[in-house]
Amino acid sequence: MPAAGRVLLRSVTMWLLLQSLLLLASCLRSAAAFPKGCYPSEEEGLKTFRCSNAQLTEVPRDIPNDTNKLYLDSNRIPFLPRDAFRDLPLLLELDLSHNAIASVESGAFRGLAEHLHSLDLSSNRLVSVSKDAFSNLKAKVNLSHNPWLCDCRLQELIRTVDLAAGSSGGIVCDSSAQEEHVGKPFLQVIADTDFCNVYKKTTDIAMLVTMFGWFAMVISYLVYYVRQNQEDARRHLEYLKSLPSKQRRSEESSTISTVV
């Protein structure tokens, strides 16, 4: 082989080797940035990021922002903070099932309203969540198998979200103000009980009782004030009767005008 050909072959080989090393370094650097047990992949043409059973205690921060499907199931995440998924504008599916989530801050799903169509929060520790946490979210939401407190707050939440098909039966009252509701599916309970209407009636009664109490106090004070003045006037008149007639008449007229 001519010398020029050998030089060219050597140059091409070195260039390919350099490109391979750069690609490998890039892959290693990306892998090192991900939490242990997390890895990216592509499934059915969708970019997926899996962190299932990775012993996570918080939502990872270095998730690729072009992720379409995110699996954070079977971890130990205790709560979802505000803007937890703000940098994932293309997210379509979010699986947070089988964690320890007991709190969802308002704004936790901010930025996902446009594209997200599936949100799984089943098998967590949710007792009560504000409807504001899911505002403007159009996704199908799975809230089953959580220790829910059946009250007006849960009723408002259920009316706000679009429940995933087949998940409503798994939303069961773990606790309630009325003992007979415990252990029953929530949708079955609210078919006969309007928790928000009951709460409103209770609040109205409490306000009426408070107003009646204040009214009674005012009336009692007025009665006491009138009786006290009458007693003082009677004592003063008795005192005047004991005075000489001229002084008594002048002070009687003064007393009467004061009482009037």
State which H helix or E strand residue 3 sits in. helix 3-33
Q: Which residues contact 41 (CB under 8 A, 6 or more apart)?
A: 47, 48, 49, 50
Total structural domains in the chain?
2
Identify whether residues 99 and 65 lie together within a single domain: yes
Identify whether residues 229 and 159 lie together within a single domain: no
Which pLDDT belongs to residue 177?
A: 87
Identify whether residues 201 and 114 lie together within a single domain: no
Which pLDDT belongs to residue 206?
A: 46
Distance CA 112, CA 70 (A): 12
Which pLDDT belongs to residue 197?
A: 87
- Tens-level pLDDT at each residue, the chain (260 residues): 565 555 455 655 665 555 554 444 444 444 446 888 999 999 999 999 999 999 999 999 889 999 999 999 999 999 999 999 999 999 999 999 999 999 999 999 999 988 999 999 999 999 999 999 998 899 999 999 999 999 999 999 999 999 999 999 999 999 998 999 999 999 999 998 999 986 444 444 445 445 545 555 656 656 565 666 666 666 656 655 665 655 545 555 554 444 44
Which pLDDT belongs to residue 70?
A: 98
Identify whether residues 166 and 204 lie together within a single domain: no
Distance CA 85, CA 106 (A): 12
Which pLDDT belongs to residue 256?
A: 45
Q: What is the CATH number of the domain that holds 115?
A: 3.80.10.10
Identify whether residues 36 and 145 lie together within a single domain: yes
Distance CA 71, CA 84 (A): 14
Identify whether residues 37 and 118 lie together within a single domain: yes
Last residue of a domain, one of 193, 215, 250: 193
Distance CA 28, CA 132 (A): 41
Question: In the beta sheet, which residues pair with residue 173?
Answer: 148
Domain-located, residue 11:
no
Identify whether residues 74 and 178 lie together within a single domain: yes
Identify whether residues 228 and 148 lie together within a single domain: no
Identify whether residues 147 and 202 lie together within a single domain: no
> CB 161: neighbour CB atoms within 10 A?
21
Largest Cα–Cα separation, the chain:
152
The boundaries of the domain holding residue 224 are 194-233
DSSP state of 66: T
Identify whether residues 182 and 219 lie together within a single domain: no
Identify whether residues 135 and 184 lie together within a single domain: yes
